[in-house]
Amino acid sequence: MTPPVLVVAAALVDDLDAPTALLAARRRQPVSLAGRWEFPGGKVEPGEDPEAALHREIREELGVGLTLGTELPGPDDGCWRLSDRYVMRLWLAAVAEGEPEPLVEHDALLWLPRGEWLTVPWLDADVRIVSALAAATETGDRLPDPR
């Protein structure tokens, strides 16, 4: 069986220590996923370091530099299973440089205030991840430091 492809993505927030706003990105393609919201990111290339891939993808897709925060580990060997073909790793991140714009893969970006993170139609696999992220970043329940 072919091993799943690793996708890396960023939960971009306004403040890594006390996140309130979360950036959602609306896919423009393929048609089957267009109009649904996701965490910006993409596939890790063969031999590529996952964190380097995340910086590359976000630079390509949103035109910004990142400060990476802690990873939100998932229940599938530390990853989040998206489908038979893909698993995802997700990091909290803040914009270090630039202003996010929907350059390539997306046709809209939205900063969602806390309490409204689930109010847009996320890709199916992302719904439980957004819920887990909201729970993990509630005030007083901080994720551990990344390193």
What is the DSSP track for 69-137?
EEEE-BTBTBBEE-SSSEEEEEEEEEEEES-----SSEEEEEEEPTT-TTSS-B-GGGHHHHHHHHHHT
Interface with ligand 8DG, residue 71, by CB under 6 A: no
Looking at the Cβ atoms of 22 and 88, the one nearer to ligand 8DG is 88
Closest CB 129 distance from ligand 8DG, rounded Å: 7
Only segment of 11-19, 95-103, 109-117, 120-128 that touches ligand 8DG (CB under 6 A): 120-128
List the one residue from 11, 12, 23, 38 that touches ligand 8DG (CB under 6 A).
38
Q: Could you say which DSSP state residue 62 is in?
A: H
- Judged by CB under 6 A, which of 4, 42, 63, 73 binds ligand 8DG? 42
